[in-house]
Structure 1
Amino acid sequence: MSIRALIVDDEAPARGELRYLLAAHPEVEVVGEAAAAGEALALAESVRYDVVFLDVELPGMTGIEVARLVLDRRERPAVVFVTAHERYAVDAFAVEAFDYLVKPVEPERLARVVERLARQRRAEAPPVEKIAVVSAGGAKTLLDYDAVYWIEADGDYSRVHTYDRAYLATSSLRELEELLPAGRFARIHRSHVVNLAKVAAVRRGAPDRIRLALDDKEQTELDVARRQTRALRERLRL
């Protein structure tokens, strides 16, 4: 996942040096540069970016004032101040700066900032609610979670069942179970995981056991293992 960055500094050599240091991090894409406050604000309105590396002393207004304006956006970017002066640190963190780098920027210090930015981006990324399966001809297909009715173990792989088809997934049942949202899917047997939204009825099975009837084309019925029965009863409020 790339990190789109703006560089704002009134000195061209300083912008070039930071751009050079950021080039060591392939996850960072510099999408724009500005030399003055007004230019920076105009750029911020015209491109998508995740972080701005911002000098404090700029023509037009201070970097602190620029930070207040860009942080007022609905999609708040991270602001990393890059300045030759330590005395602005208190003001910088008062506007909720992500970090504060003192020139000359040390590559190791910048690397730590980039790693923190990457972790934040990963944490903010919406989950991908799809399962990769193999369709006819060996092509990979992505199935929405809502299309999945149940999954069964198939050795080191899995069989993913939709309303009227079954697909091979190269992930194990355990791997898929860890991927799926626990609030919507449940392990009912060592070999089966079920989408609870697809359960049409619950029937009595063997003593102290229940069976789930699904509303797929085949009207599949699956036994719930004894050790999963109590927990599933509680989840289904039976």
Structure 2
Amino acid sequence: MKIKALIVDDEAPARSELRYMLQETSDVEVVGEAANADEAIKLIKALNYDVVFVDIQMQGLTGLQLAEITKELSLPPAVVFVTAYGEYAVKAFELNALDYLVKPFEEKRLVQTIEKVSRYKASLEGLEHKKKIKSGKAELDLLPVQENDKTILISIDNIVYIHAQNERIFVHATGGVYSTSFNLKELESRFSNRGFFRTHRSYLVNIYKAKEIIPMFHGSFILRLSGEIKVPVSRRKASELKSILGM
């Protein structure tokens, strides 16, 4: 599974350049961008990012202050500083920064950073799984669904969205459409902190599958997902979604 990244920089060209470099590696999916630390904190609390690439000198809170905040989270993302200033490196590593990139840097240097992030992600997931086993709360990344007369297990990461229709619940995944005995409220709770968002009373969406937001009347949205699928975002949920996405 790809590394989910957040880019934090108050300069739009810098964000665009880093996004391009990260996407060229094929191992990273840039899920979000933020122009300042305050926006970044909201995004980090809303979705689980594997890594945050952050500038140091920004308006408002600095990148160092952002790192100070994120390290207190129960599942902190890796923090990689991307800056033109080398003099903050010691302080950055005191804050448990995973890496420190000084501009300009070559692609092979970025690849080394991504390898570090991948190892960090694996170790963090291992520790969290051990904690859950110890507490008796281990969870599988699988959902039991019905296909014809049998029950099969599908990966949560393969779910695009879940739809309630005529008192039945349908799970739309990359392998097909399935029914389930869970209701939307149960699934929303089960998938909390997994990137799923209740866009409408009848829809639960995997935000990582979102491709485009299409504005509609009276503040509502249409959310375009993988495969040209379109689901509604109610006016009540639109502002919450905008906050999550840093819009």
Normalised by the size of structure 1, how large is the TM-score?
0.51
2:37 matched residue in structure 1: 37
Which structure carries more relative contact order (alpha carbon 8 Å, separation 6+)? Answer: 2
Tell me which residue corresponds to 2:17.
17
Aligned-residue sequence identity (percent) comes to 50
Unaligned runs of at least 5 residues, structure 2: 127-138, 143-151, 154-247
Letter in 1 for 2:48: R
The CA RMSD measured in Å over matched residues stands at 2.5
Which residue matches 1:48? 48
Count of residue pairs the alignment pairs up: 134
C-alpha contact 2:3 2:29 (8 A) present in aligned 1: yes
> What code does the residue aligned with 1:43 have?
L
The one-letter amino acid paired with 1:65 is Q
* AA at the equivalent of 1:38: D
8 Å CA contact 1:8, 1:52 repeated in 2: yes
Whether the aligned pair in 2 keeps the contact of 1:31 and 1:47 (CA below 8 Å) is no
Q: How does 1:52-67 map to 2 (within 5 A)?
A: 52-67=52-67
Distance 1:129 1:76 in 2: 20
Contact 1:10 1:36 in 2 (8 A): yes
- Corresponding residue for residue 117 of structure 1: 117
Query: Alpha-carbon deviation of 1:119?
Result: 2.6
Unaligned runs of 5+ in 1: 131-140, 143-238
1:104 Cα deviation after fit = 1.7
Task: Give the match's secondary structure for 2:24.
Answer: coil
The higher radius of gyration belongs to 1
Q: 1:66 and 1:28 mapped to 2: Cα distance?
A: 22
Q: What displacement does 1:123 show?
A: 3.9
How many Å apart are 1:4 and its aligned residue? 0.7
SS across alignment from 2:25 = coil
Moved over 2 A (4+): 119-130
Does residue 69 of structure 2 align to residue 69 of structure 1? yes
Q: Partner of 2:96 in structure 1?
A: 96
Counterparts of 2:37 and 2:94, CA distance in 1: 19
Q: Residue by residue, what CA displacement relative to the aligned partner does 1:135-170 show, whole Å, maximum 9, x if unpaired?
A: xxxxxx88xxxxxxxxxxxxxxxxxxxxxxxxxxxx
Task: Give the direction of change, closer, same or farther, for the CA distance of 1:23–1:129 in structure 2 (3 Å limit).
Answer: closer
The CA deviation at 1:27 is 2.1
Map of 1:216 onto structure 2: none
Find the counterpart in structure 2 of residue 146 from structure 1.
none
Q: Deviations over 1:88-113 (max 9, x none)?
A: 10110110100000112321100001
* 8 Å CA contact 1:41, 1:66 repeated in 2: yes
Is contact 2:78–2:120 with CA below 8 Å preserved after alignment?
A: no
1:120 partner letter? Y
The whole-number CA distance in structure 2 between the counterparts of 1:8 and 1:129 is: 29
CA distance in 1, matches of 2:124, 2:65: 26
Separation (CA, whole Å) in 2 of partners of 1:82 and 1:109: 12
